[in-house]
A = this chain, B = another copy of it.
Amino acid sequence: MIKIAIIGASGYTGGELLRLLRHHPNMEVTVITSRQNSGKSVLEVFPHLRGAYDDLTFEEPNYADIKGRVHGAFTALPHGASVEAVSVLSMGAAGASAKDSQNNISKDNIMPVVDLSADFRFNNIATYEATYALHTKPNLLEKAVYGLPEMYRDKIKDANIVGNPGCYPTGAILGLYPLLKKGLIKTDGIIVDSKSGVTGAGRVSSPLTHFPEIAEGLHAYKVGNHRHAPEIEENLTTAASKEITITFTPHLIPINRGILTTIYAEIKEETSLDEVLNTFSNIYADEPFVRILPSGVIPNTAWVRGSNFIDIGAVVVEKTKRLVIVTAIDNLVKGAAGQAIQNMNLILGLPEETGLTDLPLFP
């Protein structure tokens, strides 16, 4: 078994990693860290996991020590803190390499890390620094790969550090990438209107996520200045091979899980809905987690809950020549923990779907 550490494991993403990895045939979580919950058992922090990890205890994040005890790591810390963790963990000692134990391909004894913060999501360090903060390990950032397998699978297989995509970017980029790549839409004026469940805000309570402030309500936030916009733009730019800017509006919806992304783009004169759907179907033909819905069927977050699927549907509004693309993901799975495992599977040379075949829970 490949021994896995989860750094910063007491949030919702950590809980999902624990849930999903429980029955992974090749990985086993042996180390979990949390400054705040150090010394507590899994079942104190995640009572729903009672019976699954009763002997596992949160420990202080001593990365140098942990590095010697595991073969791979998921880091789920705030940005800034993550880069420090990754810089120590990824510099693996001899014999600690999961790739080594798995398939005798050692890459300088470097331990694979999938990072769920924003610290390794950008190619362009200037964009990272304009959006977040000074990046303390630019050379590590250069080596990292953006963990969207549908766009960067081959690079991910060769990577040791993967920056797992943000939840909003996953839903937005996968809905646009094939169309931009094939030039079916105009590249100006793209609108991304996203609606997210509240787990996207993390597990740390705040006045803004107090139950009565959210329930039976609905609002937009950070209109035009959410940090996920530059992340989306960088990858759409790659897809289109030209500079793309978007208008991005996130909304908070009183549900736990799910992001519905409604995307508006001007369709080229000669493009039909059939061509759009065929393009999606072709480019995503071998993708295990992308489901293209037929004409007339629009995604619902309830249809992907708990699973690693992304559902994609599209409509052409003839009168205005607008293409409306709708995507649905579970923000904690395809938008976080599930995609992270998908990435780790790729790094480790495992079948990509391993441990991720649970069907959605509906209702």
Contact = CB atoms under 8 A, between A and B. Distances in A.
A99 B217 CA distance: 39
B256 A262 contact: no
Given A218-B302, A254-B215, A223 B315 contact: yes
Interface in A4-41: 12, 15, 19, 22-23
Given A245-B319, A322-B247, A363-B256, A199 B212 contact: yes
B300 A217 contact: yes
A230 to B, nearest CB: 10
Given A215-B198, A219-B300, A253-B253, A224 B50 contact: no
A48 B209 contact: no
A191 B249 CA distance: 13
A343 B222 CA distance: 36
Nearest to A359: B19
A350 interface: no
Contact of A249 (B214, B220, B262): B262
Given A50-B291, A320-B247, A260 B218 contact: yes
A315 B248 CA distance: 11
A288 to B, nearest CB: 9
26 contacts: A12-B363, A47-B293, A49-B359, A189-B322, A193-B262, A195-B195, A195-B253, A197-B212, A206-B210, A211-B215, A215-B215, A215-B254, A218-B253, A218-B258, A219-B299, A219-B300, A219-B301, A219-B302, A220-B260, A220-B324, A223-B315, A245-B320, A247-B317, A251-B262, A253-B253, A254-B254
Given A191-B191, A306-B361, A254 B251 contact: no
Given A211-B254, A224-B317, A264-B264, A302 B217 contact: yes
A298 interface: yes
A286 interface: no
B195 A212 contact: no
A205 B203 contact: no
Interface residues of A, number: 85
Contact of A212 (B22, B193, B298, B363): B363
Contacts of A209: 205, 210-212
A362 B48 contact: yes
A195 B49 CA distance: 23
Contacts of A219: 260, 298-302, 326, 328
Interface in A296-346: 297-307, 309, 311, 315-317, 319-320, 322, 324, 326, 328
Of listed A52, A191, A315, A359, residue having the most chain B CB within 10 A = A359
